[in-house]
Amino acid sequence: MGSWDARTLTGGMADNAANTQNMTVVVTGASGRTGSRVVQAARTAGCTVRSASRTRGFDWEDRTTWAQTLRGADAAYLVYPSDVGAPAATEGVGALAREAAGLGVRRLVLLSARGEQQALATEEALKVSGAEWTVVRASWFAQNFSEGPLVEELRRGELVFPAGEVREPFVDVRDIGDVVAAVLTSGERFVGRTVELTGPRLLSFRDAVAEISAASGTTFAYTPVPARAYGEALTGFGVPPEEAEFLVEVFEGLLDGRNACVTDGVQRVLGRSPRDFTDFVREAAAAGTWKV
């Protein structure tokens, strides 16, 4: 159930909110799904937040932009765009983490992907950087259905995806934001640990699309396809073949049933239950997310 790669935690909520008032936290991917929630949660915790993405002058692909973003900060949340298991992520995260540690950014939290074999090398690159590290491995985001590339497809009436009937404990990105903020600001408690975050229950992608249909009043279809056929379709849409091949391998692994169990990561860090998929769907439907 609980997934901690070192000691077992015994405490509850993050305990040192008072110490966060003078803390400066860099949040990469700040305009993205998880980063935007980390920004909110860290501000609520009293931190000074430095939002980082290309529009703010920080680019993972341009190392000359890193120091100006990191210098003077106490901690950083690292989101590698596209995929934490991509070949470039290992080198990028390792190099940035070493630079951050050298500049005195003591604590680093990396967003990783639960069950993704390809992400292990990137996690390792963080661990040997010299910084106080925490890895937050998230399961599939609930918000994949409301923000990002799958939404437009869903709005067109049919989600074609290589997930078969496998069940997944979709996690709400707001819980990721809350957990990351707690980890960044919680003394030594989470240093040197890997935290696996899931939602509270398992749903198949078919179940998820059915919940979205019921809440939004529009019938959407879910059509499972083999990962290889999905990769060929991506290539047809202009995705470079090596990128499509990488995604096929990632999906074949992630969606083979290995993640079909829940963890107590959110409860352990925050002292409360994770948000349920049904609540996410109700709120997103009320906001008109799936209006066609």
User: Where does this chain bind ligand NAP (CB under 6 A)?
Assistant: 29-35, 53-55, 58-61, 79-81, 83-84, 111, 113, 138, 140-141, 144
E strands, the chain, are 24-28, 48-52, 75-78, 107-113, 132-138, 158-161, 167-168, 193-197, 203-204, 221-224
Q: Which residues contact 231 (CB under 8 A, 6 or more apart)?
A: 244, 245, 247, 248
Residue of closest CB approach to ligand NAP: 32
The smaller minimum CB distance to ligand NAP, of residues 77 and 190, is found at: 77
Output 58 or 161, the one with its CB closest to ligand NAP.
58
Pairwise CA distance, residues 223 & 206, whole Å: 8
Q: What are phi and psi of 57, to 5 degrees?
A: 85, 10
DSSP letters for 206-274: HHHHHHHHHHHTS--EEEE--HHHHHHHHHHTT--HHHHHHHHHHHHHHTSSTT-S---HHHHHHSSPP
Of 17 and 124, the one with the shorter C-beta distance to ligand NAP is 124
Please, what is the minimum distance in Å from the beta carbon of residue 152 to ligand NAP?
Answer: 15
- CB of residue 21 to ligand NAP, shortest distance in Å: 26
Residue 50 φ/ψ, nearest 5 degrees? -110, 105
- What SS3 state is found at 202? coil
- Cβ distance to ligand NAP smaller for residue 15 or 256: 256
Least CB distance to ligand NAP at residue 58 (A): 5
Kindly state the smallest distance separating residue 61's Cβ from ligand NAP, in Å.
5
Rounded distance between C-alpha atoms, residue 52 and residue 76, angstroms: 10
From the CB of 18, what's the least distance to ligand NAP, in Å? 29
The smaller minimum CB distance to ligand NAP, of residues 59 and 132, is found at: 59
Judged by beta carbon, residue 17 or residue 239, the one nearer ligand NAP is 239
From the CB of 67, what's the least distance to ligand NAP, in Å? Answer: 15
